[in-house]
């Protein structure tokens, strides 16, 4: 089997091959025409040659999308050969400014000549614009979405169902782990009864109006859970929430910390919302705290609106209510 037979799975390897070949060819060309220059220096040198002032390492990384350590390493090489000057930054003594030296500027005309020739050959090799346009589009997509997250979401393929009794123990442990790790949330010592309720969350399902829902991967692992209440009278929170009429709700949503960002919380929330829409309820009620910033933003994006009349205090912790019209 050839690497090319792997289709898109070979993209990274093939692009690396191309990159290494171009670097090798470039280095060979510089050596042949007796210019002391390396292909890996090109982006940083080029940016410095086109600016009218010295730049910081951070500014260079932003302009060429290199890592800071890569920029620093290249700058050291350029400074060692005398092509750049590294000078103090008068506005920030924690950083340095980088600029082309006299020696660096002196070789620019010769470098520009070879780059123009190189450009013409690359244009013939890759075509007029299609290849470049595709590279730009791919780069933009990678900057606005996480390939890692998308791959893991599809790999795990989480789906929601009612929890099995054999899973109650693990779900309770998960919820305790999630809530005890929240910065600013009461600890086990501060609210032992609350954590005991989390640990034995499966007991809530003894009430037939209460469902423990779980997100399970294709591999059978539990990624998160939530408790759904068909009638708010069984909700069990402080405040006036249990007096809500024609309303359903959910609470105790928790997602494994390793899976945050993969949409498990949103999946559980959407499942609850769909159940609510199929029920006779007119509204859905939920609560969250300021320690749960990600969840708070997610609920608002999904249409939940603040309901101050449902707020209450859980010990010393303010808990904030939300409603959703179904």
CATH architecture of the region 3-149? Orthogonal Bundle (1.10)
Tens-digit pLDDT profile for the chain (326 aa)? 676 777 888 888 888 888 899 999 999 999 998 999 999 999 999 999 999 999 999 999 999 888 899 999 999 999 999 999 999 999 888 889 999 999 999 999 999 999 999 888 888 888 777 888 888 888 888 888 888 888 899 999 999 999 999 999 999 999 999 999 999 999 999 999 999 999 999 999 999 999 999 999 999 999 999 999 999 999 999 999 999 999 999 999 999 999 988 999 999 999 999 999 999 999 999 999 999 988 999 999 999 999 999 999 998 899 999 999 99
Which residues touch 158 (CB under 8 Å, ≥6 apart)? 215, 216, 217, 223, 224, 262, 263, 264, 267
Task: Calculate helix-pair angle for 11-32, 108-126, nearest 10 degrees.
Answer: 140
Indicate the DSSP class of residue 326.
Answer: -
- What span, in angstroms and rounded, lies between the C-alpha atoms of 145 and 130? 22
Domain ranges of the chain: 3-149, 156-325
Its pTM stands at: 0.74
- What span, in angstroms and rounded, lies between the C-alpha atoms of 186 and 314? 9
Q: Would you say domain 156-325 falls under CATH 3.40.630.30?
A: yes
């Amino acid at each position: 089997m050839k690497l090319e037979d792997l289709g898109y799975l070979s993209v990274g390897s093939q692009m690396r091959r191309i990159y290494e070949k171009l670097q090798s060819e470039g280095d060979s060309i510089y050596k042949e025409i007796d210019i002391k220059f390396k292909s890996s220096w090109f982006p940083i040198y080029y940016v410095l040659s086109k600016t009218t002032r010295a730049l910081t390492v951070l500014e260079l990384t932003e302009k060429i999308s290199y890592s800071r350590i890569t920029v620093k390493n290249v700058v050291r090489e350029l400074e060692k050969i005398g092509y750049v000057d590294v000078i103090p930054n008068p506005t920030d003594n924690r950083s340095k400014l980088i600029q082309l030296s006299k020696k660096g500027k002196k070789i620019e005309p010769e470098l520009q000549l070879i780059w123009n020739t190189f450009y013409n050959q690359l244009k013939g090799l890759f075509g007029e614009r299609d290849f470049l346009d595709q590279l730009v589009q791919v780069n933009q997509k990678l900057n606005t979405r996480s390939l890692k997250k998308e791959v893991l979401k599809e790999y795990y393929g989480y789906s929601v169902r009612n929890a099995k009794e054999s899973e109650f123990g693990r779900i309770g442990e998960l919820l305790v782990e999630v809530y005890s790790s929240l910065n600013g949330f009461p600890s086990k010592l501060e609210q032992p009864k609350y954590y005991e309720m989390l640990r034995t969350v499966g007991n809530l399902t003894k009430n037939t109006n209460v469902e423990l829902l779980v997100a399970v991967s294709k591999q059978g692992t539990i990624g998160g859970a939530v408790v759904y209440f068909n009638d708010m009278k069984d909700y069990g929170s402080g405040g006036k929430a249990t007096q809500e009429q024609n309303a359903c709700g959910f609470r105790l949503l928790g997602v494994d910390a390793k899976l945050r960002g993969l949409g498990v919380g949103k999946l559980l929330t959407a499942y609850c919302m769909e159940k609510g829409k199929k029920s006779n309820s007119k509204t859905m009620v939920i609560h969250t705290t300021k320690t749960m910033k990600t969840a708070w933003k997610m609920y608002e994006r999904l249409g939940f609106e603040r309901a101050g009349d449902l707020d209450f205090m859980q010990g010393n912790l303010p808990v904030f209510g939300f409603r959703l019209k179904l």
